[in-house]
Amino acid sequence: MARLSRAEAKARTRELLLDAAARVFAQKGFAGASVDEIAEAAGYSIGAVYSNFGGKEQLFVELLKERANDRVTQAAEILADTEPAQANRAMSRLLIEVADKDVDFAPLQAEFWLYAVRNPALMETLAERMREPRDLLTELVGREVPDAERADQLATVVMALFQGLVRQRRIDPDSVPEELFGQALQWLFLGAEADEERT
């Protein structure tokens, strides 16, 4: 087996720490999770957390950005590799996969929101970290909606819709059937298009 370079080893350590943090934060919340538990769950020492992230709070904020980026990247790949007629169905499958298989996603999203509300001094830091995935999503939406301001607003609604439907499906799967997210996206963009035509 080839030996990892220093940069590859550091990236691997970060990835394992983020994965462990996602599990521990989802199970125990921000306040209940300890650096010790996260390091142990990842198979590293506490020093690895501090050397890679500076501490629990920075790890938490980085996890927020990383997970959001992952979802937007998945959406971008789906849209790049899928015929337009099948795109809504493919986006629906992504939501169902996240809701049904990524059991940490919904609790983490709730925990991020609670953490931001309870820590107003850090809300701007969290908002800043979320701008990158939101900008990526705005870029995706901008392929269909040329008006930059409208694309930005639609990206915000799409992100909120995705998060809300994931949470709802985790609570009551029957209320979020497999095609609902794709159908809702269609309604959203048709409505935005109709509104554009009226103005």
Residues 12 and 71 occupy one common structural domain: no
93 vs 112 pLDDT, higher one: 93
Q: For residue 144, report the phi and psi dihedrals to the nearest 5 degrees.
A: -100, -25
Task: Check if the beta carbon of residue 176 is closer than 8 Å to that of residue 99.
Answer: yes
Residues 147 and 126 occupy one common structural domain: yes
CATH code where residue 14 lies? 1.10.10.60
> Per residue in 5-38, pLDDT tens?
888 888 999 999 999 999 999 999 888 999 999 9
- What is the separation of C-alpha 192 from the centre of its chain, rounded to a whole number of angstroms? 24
Spatial separation of the C-alpha atoms in residues 160 and 174, rounded to whole Å: 20
CATH code where residue 178 lies? 1.10.357.10
Residues 97 and 139 occupy one common structural domain: yes
Residues 46 and 71 occupy one common structural domain: no
Residue 1's pLDDT is what?
52
Residues 36 and 73 occupy one common structural domain: no
Residues 73 and 143 occupy one common structural domain: yes
Residues 88 and 164 occupy one common structural domain: yes
Residue 199's pLDDT is what?
65
> Per residue in 51-66, pLDDT tens?
999 999 899 988 988 8
The strand ranges marked E within 40-192 are: none
Phi-psi region of 55 (alpha: psi -120 to 50; beta: other; left: phi over 0): left
Torsion of CA 190, 77, 58, 23, to 10 degrees: 100
Residues 102 and 75 occupy one common structural domain: yes
- Structural domains counted in the chain: 2
Residue 193's pLDDT is what?
84
Residues 38 and 121 occupy one common structural domain: no
Q: Which domain holds residue 88?
A: 56-198
- What is the separation of C-alpha 186 from the centre of its chain, rounded to a whole number of angstroms? 21
Residues 153 and 163 occupy one common structural domain: yes
Residues with Cβ < 8 Å from 133, sequence gap 6 or more? 65, 68, 69, 71, 72, 159
Which of 54, 77, 99 is a domain's end point? 54
Task: Check if the beta carbon of residue 159 is closer than 8 Å to that of residue 135.
Answer: no
Residues 168 and 129 occupy one common structural domain: yes
Torsion over CA: 67, 69, 70, 72 (sign): positive
Global pTM reads 0.81
Spatial separation of the C-alpha atoms in residues 37 and 43, rounded to whole Å: 10
Structure tokens at 193: 């298009």
Question: What is the per-residue burial (b if ≥16 Cβ within 10 Å, else e) of 28-43?
Answer: eebeebebebbbebbe
Residues 191 and 108 occupy one common structural domain: yes
